[in-house]
Each structure stands twice: as C-alpha cells, then as structure tokens.
Amino acid sequence: MAGVSALGVAALTFSLVPSNADAEIAPQAAAAAAPVAFTNATGTAQAKTVQNSMIEQHSTAEKLVKAADAAKAKAAAETKAKAAKAKAASEAKAKAAADAKDKAEKAAKAKADAKKRASEKANRSTARKPVYANNLDGWIREAMAIMKKEGIPGSYEGIHRNIIRESSGNRWAINNWDINARNGVPSKGLLQVIQPTFDRYHVAGTKKDLYDPVANIVAACNYAADRYGSMDNVNSAY
C-alpha cells in the first residue's frame, strides 16, 4: 500500500510539471516520493498492532505458566495434606490398638495375680490348719478350738478332769445301770451325755454322732455352760 501511494504521488507530480522539464524534475520527484513509503501512517499503525499483539501474547503465556505453577503447587499441597492426614489416622489407630492390647494384658495379669494370691492364701490357710492327734489330748484341743470360735467357755483342765471322772478317757464308754439307762437313754461317750441333751446342745460343724469324741466334748461343754456357767464348774455327775 505504501508503494501504491508513492506511485500516485509521483504520477500527480509528473502531470503538473511541463514536459520540457521532465528530465530535471524526475529525479527530485523520485527522491521526494521514496521516504513516503516508510513514513506512511497506516504502516506505522500496523507495526504497532503487531508489536502490541506480541506483547499481549507474551503476557498471556506468562499468566498461563503462573496459573499452571499455582495449580501444581496447590495439588502438591493437597496431596501432602492428605498423606499427613492418612499417616496421623494410621498412627492413631495403631496407638489405640496398642493401648487396647496393653490394657487387656494388664487386666489378664491382674486377674492372674489375684487368682495366684487367692491360691496362696488358701494354701497358707490349709497349711496353718492344725492337725490334731487322734487321742484324748488331740480331741480336747480340737474341741476347745471349736468352743473358742463359738464362744463356749471351758479350760483344758476342767474338760480333762471331767472326762477322766466320767469315762476314764474311753470314747466308747456307756452307762447301762443308772436312771438314764433305766429310762432307755443311757449316757455315752467321753463326758457321758444322753442323746436328748446331745441333740439339743449339738454345735454345727461337728459330727452328729454321740460317740464322736470332739462332738461329745463340745455338746457337753455347751450344756454345762448353759446350766453351770462352764465345764470348769462341774465336779460331779451333771
């Protein structure tokens, strides 16, 4: 377009100059016309438009790169946050499982310890339980242990003294000649107790056998305590 404009100007110039001056004016017209092609307003505007377009494209590209970098950074941060959250949840779950296991182990240990202590206590009680001799001395001592527990008074001396007088220490002794015998209820055992008296003063935990030495002593002492205050106070037939 610049070239066409220049040619138009040149043609106009040649048409206004006389023919005899063509050779002189032509070089001047060509020289004057040449700069017009480069100073044309349309050409300058086009050059500026292209430049602005390139600048805008460059700015848009920069914005796109920045947006992509921001999106990438955001995605990386979200991925990192999710990983941290998952790790925390996993650690919390593992800790809860470990705590539950530790609690269960402690409970099991406490239960085992309690069972062991109970067993040891039972063994100690069994070990401490006295073993009484199967003779007059052992029968009296065992009877006195029961009497102490039941709150029945009586000393070793008082019990032994009355046993010797009543039966001479014979657990199978029986009186078949006194009034009780004539009434059909003979006195029996170490302390010569009749059956009705034994039944009434029998102490739970002893055998229900009038001839059993321990049961005989305990029942007789229980009766003596009720009637005389204690077997120690009995010095004759009672």
Per-residue pLDDT of the chain (238 residues; tens, 9 = 90+): 344 334 343 433 333 344 444 444 444 444 444 444 444 555 556 666 777 777 777 888 888 888 889 899 999 999 999 899 999 999 999 999 999 998 999 999 999 999 888 888 877 766 678 899 999 999 999 999 999 999 999 999 999 999 999 999 999 999 999 999 999 999 999 999 999 999 999 999 999 999 999 999 999 999 999 999 999 999 998 8
> For residue 11, what pLDDT is reported?
39
> For residue 217, what pLDDT is reported?
98
For the stretch 191-197, contacts whose Cβ atoms lie closer than 8 Å and that sit 24 or more positions apart, written own/partner, are 191/162, 191/163, 191/166, 191/167, 191/216, 191/217, 191/220, 191/221, 192/166, 192/167, 193/219, 193/220, 193/223, 197/223
User: Across the strands, what pairs with 163?
Assistant: none
